[in-house]
Structures are given as structure tokens and as C-alpha cells.
Chains A and B, each alone.
Chain A
């Protein structure tokens, strides 16, 4: 009888512990309770429960800790300072899968806040146990371990290197091939985080054979998975030409273009980022993108998105056009310029406008044909207004000025240049007048048009220092016309004529 009573006491205690830990775990899901919990000293209470005899209590305690650490980095630091991590790591190796999941969740929650906390996790030897968890049979455990590793590797290159040195990459590649979608997502995101820091890390990921599997998964209908896969591939491709070529060899074109038509904004953004990272390295890779019809797809994608989603596409067009004039011509015939000018005028954000201005400058700077194609769409006045406006950021001003300069130096399409005569600042006016002086001596129709549209009059009104380049240009233009016309349009000519009338003696017969 007394034995039963004794056992009953123990049972009550166990029930109390279970209830406490479950309630704490539930309360920790709501952010408003966490402050109170922290003030009540929940950390020190949960810590011994991690070592409890009953497995359920251990698991729930770990879960509660994870939720608390997830909330903010003070609590995560408290977890680290409370020496909970070594205990977690030790029991990770031995316990069942629920505990492993919960412990991996705690490690992830601690590691995501800052590099120092992630370093603390690495220092207590959690990486090896996490890698062992990656080999587990249960997909939930694998997912939790991969997630934790991804968050640790996210912060900087040394932590990524530590993750790689623990041998995580081949296991992550195996995880990608598993049938569960959530596991694939997390593994792809972890690989993306590892590869993004440096070319050597990206090379490690490629050497583990990840690229082929990632390329196959582009076809998967799940949007979040596609988003992570495309992000991983773009992080790999961005570092060097060889890596970009490896990504291309995995036959992502033209499949990746279908992702540009996806409903999800992030998928579109990441797909255009990937194509941008591939196209920016060499002219050959840009040529490949153009030959696969990527330019048209990206232009359509730019047209269908708004805001930051457009930015990688705009930059891609700029990179392609920057490589050579043939590629810039290819961008022009794919109807890229009207789209870019639409972006330039209707986007509210300055950095997107700056990118569009830069891209237009790259397209228009090669030959007069290119400059004409840009000028015809009436973007030059927009660029000028952006340059002159005081509200534009400095970056935008610099970029639009450069774009205007580059285009103007090659532009021979006079109808587009004429508005510039009227409202351009002097440093740009110099280039405009220079262009006129180059074109007018050879084209008689243009000369006529110049006179009738009032351009000659405006040129006469420009005050230039004698001997400066501007004066030379003005002289050159004046030499194209007969003396009378130049005099007629010179300012103050009507006054001179009137003076002559005043001083004229009429002939009296």
C-alpha cells in the first residue's frame, strides 16, 4: 500500500512536469507571452527538464526552448549562456527522432540571429551531430537538421566553411533527391546559403553533384521549391565563368524561361536573377542566353511585374547590351527599349530607375543605329529630367548623366536632339551642339529642318567663350549656312534693322 502511495507521488510529479512543459510550449507560440515567460525565469526551469527521465518531457522542453529562442536574440543568448547547447548536442546523438527534431529546432532558432551565436553553436561541436542527423531515416529529422545547417551557414564564409568541413554537402545533395517536398526545399535553401559566400564554397557544392539535381527540380510545380532551387543555382553561377558554364551545361535553358511565366513573384525574380548571373560574365554566355530566346522572355517578365521583381531583369538587359554591339542590337530587336523606357518613367523607386537608365545607356552607346533606337522612344528627355531633378538620388543622377553622355556621343537622330538645345545644362549642351556640328555639314535636309524648327536661332543665342569647344562647334554650324541666314537669326537682329530704318534717309525725288 505504501508502495502505491510512493509511486503515486512520483506519478503526480511527472504529470505536473508534463503539464508545465506542455503549457510553456503552448504559451511560447504567442509573442505576447514570451516577455512574461522570460521575466518569470523560464530558462532556468526548462534547463533541468531537458535532462528529464521521461522522453516526452524532454522533447516538449526542447520544443519550448526552441520557440523561445526563435523569438529574439536575447533569449537565444540566454540559451547559449545557460550551457544548454552541449547537453542538447550530446543527447542529439542518442535520442529518438522527436527529440532530434526538437533539438535541431533549438539549434536553428539560436543560430539564425547573429554570427556570434552561430559561432557558439559551432564551437560546442553541434555540426557533427547535425550532419549525423542528416543521415537519419526520418525525413522530419533531416529537414530540421538541414534547416539548422542552412541558418548557420547563412551568416558568413567561415561558418559556411565550417559546415562544409563537417561534411554536410554530400548529404544535403542526397536530401535534395528525397521525395518529400519540404525536405527538398530546405536542402536547396541550405545549399544556396552555403554557396553564396565565395567561389570555393560554390565549387564544393558543384563538386558534390548538386547542379544536375537542382536543374531537374526546376520542373517541379511547387512554387517555393522552385524559388529555392533557382536561388541556389544563381548563387552558384554568380561567382565565376566556370561555375556559370557548369550551370548552363546542366541544360537549364529553355526550361528556366517557363519559370519566368510563373504566378509567384519570387520565382520570377529568382529566375531572372539566375539568367542575369549567367549573362553577366562573358559575351559568349550572353550570346547563349540570347540564342535561347531568353531576352524576349525576360522582357515579357519585366512587363508583367512591378517593383523590385523587375530589377534583375533590367540589370540583365544592361549586362547583355554592355558586352558587344551585336548583342545590344539583339536586345533592341527584341523590343527591349520601349519596355525599359516604360520602367524608367513609371517606377517610383530610385534604384530601379537608376538601373533602367544604366541599361539604356549601355544599349545606346555603341553605334549611331543603337543611339537612334534609344532616342526614337523619347527616353532622352526623361533621362534629362531625372538628371536635372533635385529629388533624384545621387546614384540616379550620376547614372542618368552617364547614360545621356554615352547616347549623345553617338546620336545622329536630330529630331530627338533638338529638345535638348532648349533645356539642357551647359555640359550636356556642349555634346548636343557637337553632334549637330558633326551631322549638319553632310545632310542638306537636316539643315533645312534645323532652320525651320528654330534650332539655328537657339544656337545663335547660346553664349560661349571664344576659343572653347562649344564656340568651335557653333562656328562649324554657322559655316554650314549662308551669311544672311546666320545674321538673320542672330539675337538682336531686329533691333539692328530698326536702327537702320531710323537712320535711313528716304530718297526724295
Chain B
């Protein structure tokens, strides 16, 4: 029991001791725990930091490479753009040069061409001069014509006056008023009167009936030919005094048709013409112009050989003539002698040999 009381007395202290030792150990344990935690946390922190540092380093490398890649791409684009700009500027500069030249040329040539304009003005002034000259000539010509017309009119008037006053002409017996003997030479009117034809009295004009037919239009109707109208124009002339023939006789004589002799009427190379005529008539009758060939085809390829008579250049009758030597260089004109057959004089007097006394031949 003592031990028990001792133990119970100590138990309180044991309790306290126990508690005390535990608390110390506890606090020591806490301290150690804290220290361990601290160490651990520090170490873990270092670990993590090292890890993060490593990560940073790798990320930096990746980013570096990525950014350099992007930058290179961008650089390419920039270079392209810059090149493009430089080229466009170059082209624009070239284009401006071309346009400048072209615009200058266009303005000088088409809008205001100085040389063309100068030339145009020169041409205009030349035209003006030409026109002025032409107009002056025209005006001069008109004046001349007018003057001439005036002169002609005056001339006509004077002539008419002279014709009216023709009876004032001087005769051998009595000198006229314009031919006074006291003058040295006669007045110019005197000469005018001499030239003038006296005026005839006006007779009432008989209306002519124009009954000319178509053939008269076609035939020659000049004054020298025989008048072809059926009705002769009335003869207004008074019969002149004196031994004159009647007017019908005179007209018949005047308008007698030509009666050529046979020698004149026939052409001189009549023989040749007649031969030609004959040949022409025969040629008309031919159906074919080719020479007549025999029928057989054997002779088709053969050329026709004319006979000796036809193949010579001398005509069949020419052997009767002398064969003359021809020397064309000695000819005066370029024609050879011709065969000429003149007409007979005897035949020309056919029907006219007997005299027709009293009648007009």
C-alpha cells in the first residue's frame, strides 16, 4: 500500500510530468515539424522554381523560333511590296515620259500645228491673190466688153444715120454738103455715106407657108443649093429697067445642077474598084471563108497548097504587062503605079452633039 500511496502521490506529478514531457516533446516535435516543413517547402520551392526556369527557357526558345519564322514571312511580304512599289514607280515614270512626248506631238500636230497653220495662211493668202487677180481680170474683161458694145452700138447708129441720109451723097455734078470744094479733103461723113446702102421702103411681109417635108430637113438646104420647097418664095423685086432676063430664067441658070463630063464623073481607078466590087459580091455569097478542102479526113492534117498561078503575087492578067523592077526606095510617094482606064471622050458627048440653037445649053 505504500507503494500505492507513493504511486498515487507521484501519479499527480507523473501526470504533470507526463503532460509536461509530452508538451515539451510536442512543442519540440512541432518545432521539428515546422523546421522539416520549412525545409521541405523551401526545397520544393527550389524544385518548382528550377522546373519553371527550365520551362521558361524552352518556351523562350520556342517563341524565339516562332517569332523569327513570322518575322521572316513578314519580311518577305515587305520586300515584295517594296519591289512592287519601285517597279510601279518606274513604269509610271516611263509612261509619263511616253505620254509627255505623245501629248506634245498631238498638240503640235493636231490641235495647233504651227507649221501647218503657217502653210495654211500662206495658201490662203495665195488663193486670195489669185482670186483678186482673177476678179480684176474679170472686171477688166467686162469693161472691155461694155466698151466694145458701146462702140458697136454707136457704129450701128452712125451706119443707120448714114443709110437714112444716103441721098446727101455727092455726085459728079453737084458736090454734096459733106464734100465742099473749099475743103482739103471730104468730111468723114462723106465716106460713111459712100459705104452706106440706101434703106428700102417697108413692104408688108407676106407670110410664108412652111410646107417643107422631112426630106427637106435632111437634104442640104444651104443657099447655094437648089431650093427644095414646092412653092417658090414670092419675088418682091420690082423689074429693073434694062435688058435683063426674066427672073425665072435667071434662077434656072443660077441653080442649074452640075453636069460633069464623063471623065470627071467616073473615078480614075474604076477598073480596080469594079474588080473589088466583084470580089466583094462573091465574098458575100460565101458561106465559109475558109478555103475549100476535099472531104477525106486523110487530108485534114495537110495544108492546102495552091496552084502556081494562085501562089504568085502577080495577078493572072499581069503577064500581059511588062514585068518592071520595083525599087520602093526610089519612089517619090509611097504608092506604086496604078492601072488606070480613062473614059472615052466620045461617050461624054452622047446626046449633046447636036446643037440646040436658041436654047440654053
Contacts and interface: CB of A to CB of B under 8 A. Distances in A.
A294 B135 CA distance: 11
Contacts of A333: 121, 124-125
B170 to A, nearest CB: 43
A149 to B, nearest CB: 34
Interface string A271-295: 0000000000000000000111111
B124 A300 contact: no
A329 interface: yes
B135 A334 contact: no
Nearest to B121: A333
A478 B235 CA distance: 108
B128 A295 contact: yes
B132 interface: yes
A295 B131 CA distance: 10
A329 B135 contact: no
Given A326-B117, A329-B121, A330-B121, A258 B135 contact: yes
Given A329-B121, A330-B121, A293 B128 contact: yes
Contacts of A384: none
B130 interface: yes
A80 B130 CA distance: 58
Contact of A261 (B117, B129, B130, B135): B135
Question: Of residues B127, B130, B136, which shows the largest number of chain A Cβ atoms within 10 Å of its Cβ?
Answer: B127
Contact of A293 (B121, B127, B142): B127
B138 A293 contact: no
> What does DSSP make chain A's interface, helix, strand, loop or mixed?
helix
Contacts of A132: none
B87 interface: no
A297 B138 contact: no
A263 interface: yes
B70 interface: no
B124 A261 contact: no
Contacts of B129: 296
Interface string A233-263: 0000000000000000000001001101101
Contacts of B127: 291-293, 296
Given A257-B135, A261-B139, A293-B131, 11 more contacts: A257-B131, A261-B138, A261-B142, A263-B142, A290-B124, A291-B124, A293-B132, A296-B132, A329-B117, A333-B125, A334-B125
B117 A300 contact: no
Contact of A334 (B128, B130, B138): B128
B115 to A, nearest CB: 14
Nearest to A262: B142
Interface in B120-162: 120-121, 124-125, 127-132, 135-136, 138-139, 142
Contacts, number: 49
A293 B132 CA distance: 8
A329 B130 CA distance: 19
A296 B130 CA distance: 10
Interface residues of A, number: 20
Given A326-B117, A330-B124, A334-B125, A297 B135 contact: yes
Contact of B130 (A263, A293, A294, A295): A293
Interface of A: 254, 257-258, 260-261, 263, 290-297, 300, 326, 329-330, 333-334
A297 B121 contact: no
Contact of A300 (B130, B132, B142): B132
Contacts of A261: 135-136, 138-139, 142
A334 to B, nearest CB: 5
Contacts of A294: 131
Contacts of A258: 135, 138
Interface of B: 117, 120-121, 124-125, 127-132, 135-136, 138-139, 142
30 contacts: A254-B131, A257-B131, A257-B135, A258-B135, A261-B135, A261-B136, A261-B138, A261-B139, A290-B124, A291-B127, A292-B131, A293-B124, A293-B127, A293-B130, A293-B131, A293-B132, A295-B124, A296-B127, A296-B128, A296-B132, A326-B117, A326-B120, A329-B121, A330-B120, A330-B121, A330-B124, A333-B124, A333-B125, A334-B124, A334-B128
B145 to A, nearest CB: 9
A329 B128 CA distance: 14
A254 B131 CA distance: 9
Contacts of A293: 124, 127-128, 130-132
Contacts of B132: 293, 296-297, 300
Contacts of A300: 132, 135
Nearest to A300: B132
Nearest to B125: A333
Contacts of B131: 254, 257, 292-294, 296-297
B8 to A, nearest CB: 133
A294 B132 CA distance: 10
B48 to A, nearest CB: 87
B143 to A, nearest CB: 9
B94 to A, nearest CB: 35
Nearest to A258: B138
Contacts of A254: 131
A418 to B, nearest CB: 29
Contacts of B125: 333-334
A477 B129 CA distance: 45
Contacts of B142: 261, 263
A188 to B, nearest CB: 22
B253 to A, nearest CB: 44
A331 to B, nearest CB: 10
B5 to A, nearest CB: 137
A295 B135 CA distance: 13
A329 B114 CA distance: 13
B128 to A, nearest CB: 3
Nearest to B137: A261
Contacts of A296: 127-129, 131-132
Contacts of A330: 120-121, 124
A295 B126 CA distance: 12
Contacts of A257: 131, 135
A221 to B, nearest CB: 9
Contacts of B121: 329-330, 333
A294 B138 CA distance: 15
Contacts of A290: 124
Contacts of A297: 131-132, 135
Question: Of residues B117, B124, B135, which shows the largest number of chain A Cβ atoms within 10 Å of its Cβ?
Answer: B124
B111 to A, nearest CB: 11
B122 to A, nearest CB: 9
Contacts of B124: 290-291, 293, 295, 330, 333-334
A326 B125 CA distance: 13
B146 to A, nearest CB: 8
A403 B120 CA distance: 27
Nearest to B126: A293
A297 B131 CA distance: 7
Contacts of B138: 258, 261
